[in-house]
């Protein structure tokens, strides 16, 4: 009897998602779902094998507004990814709309319409939106219309609580970026060993969110994201979903070390946890009080905006 590798073991109690725009890498790891973002698409289109996809999309929609051509490109990648996986793909709304609820809703509806025009059922698409107050309200409106969302750039408990209140389909707390902030903040006093595994600040954040959701019967799915090492992944085994880069998927597949479940819904339901809710003022204050989350949310939006601009330049040159 062969021993299951860590990737196979993880799939027994967590839905594994591929975090990449490079759809040629996806099939090797047989993930259920896949996620993309502007940075991953930018990285992919600069590879020679994807250059024709960019050129073809631009040529087919030449003369249309650049934002519309961009959505066609994102959907093109999404359709290719969906041909390789049984589940869902996440496609991101332009991060420059992160503080505009109405514009985010309109852009999300257009992306879903483009998928439908390609014969893709809307149930196989999650619209990724930054977890600002405005983004969360846009997601609430979209969910009421039957368009499912993935709230990204999520770094704080208050963001997760507000997403649960909005009944969003899924959230993506960013484990690695939380870890990065605390490590940088600690400087020379950082204790790598003492801040690893279940003591990793990013892991602790996801565990708190997961336990809160399961305790109070919140249906929103928790998908840990942005991993820096295998220890962060194995410490969250049992989370609803984990979105993992091809590099770390490869490491999991190469390891046969034991991988026990770490998060459990039944255990969470037995915990003594306080009820928490936020209105807009409470949300903004709680986020403001969390320096890490405030800084990483702003930084993440800026980075996605910068990569979107780079993508637009490539499209203009195609």
Active site residues: 128
Determine the length of the chain: 318
Q: Where are the beta strands (DSSP E) in the chain?
A: 15-19, 33-35, 89-92, 125-130, 149-154, 170-173, 221-224, 241-244
- Say if CB 129 and CB 244 are below 8 A apart: no
- Say if CB 93 and CB 127 are below 8 A apart: yes
Measured from the Cβ of residue 109, the count of other Cβ atoms closer than 10 Å reads: 14
| Chain centre to alpha carbon of residue 162 | 17
- Say if CB 19 and CB 244 are below 8 A apart: yes
The string over 277-310, giving b where at least 16 C-beta atoms fall within 10 Å of a residue's C-beta and e elsewhere, is: ebeeeebeebbeebebbeebbeebbeebbebbee
Alpha-carbon separation of residue 193 from 182, 188, 200 (angstroms): 14, 14, 9
- Say if CB 130 and CB 152 are below 8 A apart: yes
Measured from the Cβ of residue 246, the count of other Cβ atoms closer than 10 Å reads: 17
Alpha-carbon separation of residue 64 from 22, 44, 57, 69, 316 (angstroms): 26, 23, 11, 7, 12
């Amino acid at each position: 009897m062969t021993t299951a590798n860590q990737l196979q073991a993880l799939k027994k109690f967590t839905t594994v998602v591929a975090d990449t725009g490079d759809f040629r890498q996806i099939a090797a790891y047989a993930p259920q779902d896949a996620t993309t973002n502007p940075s991953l698409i930018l990285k992919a289109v600069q590879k020679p094998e994807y250059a024709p996809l960019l050129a073809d999309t631009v040529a087919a929609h030449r003369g249309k507004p650049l934002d519309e051509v961009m959505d066609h490109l994102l959907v093109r990648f999404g359709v290719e990814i969906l041909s390789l996986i049984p589940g869902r793909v996440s496609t991101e709304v332009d991060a420059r709309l992160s503080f505009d609820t109405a514009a985010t809703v309109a852009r999300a509806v257009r992306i879903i319409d483009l998928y439908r025009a390609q014969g893709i059922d809307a149930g196989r698409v999650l619209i990724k939106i930054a977890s600002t107050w405005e983004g969360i309200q846009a997601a609430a409106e979209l969910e009421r219309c039957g368009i499912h969302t993935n709230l990204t750039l999520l770094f704080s408990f208050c963001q997760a609580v507000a997403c649960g209140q909005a009944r969003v389909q899924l959230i993506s707390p960013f484990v690695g970026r939380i870890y990065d902030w605390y490590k940088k903040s600690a400087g020379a006093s950082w204790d790598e060993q003492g801040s690893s595994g279940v003591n990793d600040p990013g892991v602790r954040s996801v565990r708190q969110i997961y336990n809160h959701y399961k305790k109070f019967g919140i249906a929103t799915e928790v998908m840990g994201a942005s991993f820096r090492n295998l220890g962060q992944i194995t410490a969250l085994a049992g989370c609803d979903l984990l979105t993992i880069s091809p590099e770390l998927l490869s490491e999991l597949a190469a390891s046969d070390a034991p991988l026990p479940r770490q998060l459990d819904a039944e255990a969470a339901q037995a915990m003594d946890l306080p009820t928490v809710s936020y209105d807009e003022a409470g949300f903004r204050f709680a986020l403001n009080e969390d320096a890490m989350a405030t800084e990483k949310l702003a930084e993440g939006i800026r980075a996605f905006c910068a990569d979107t601009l780079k993508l637009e330049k490539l499209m203009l040159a195609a």
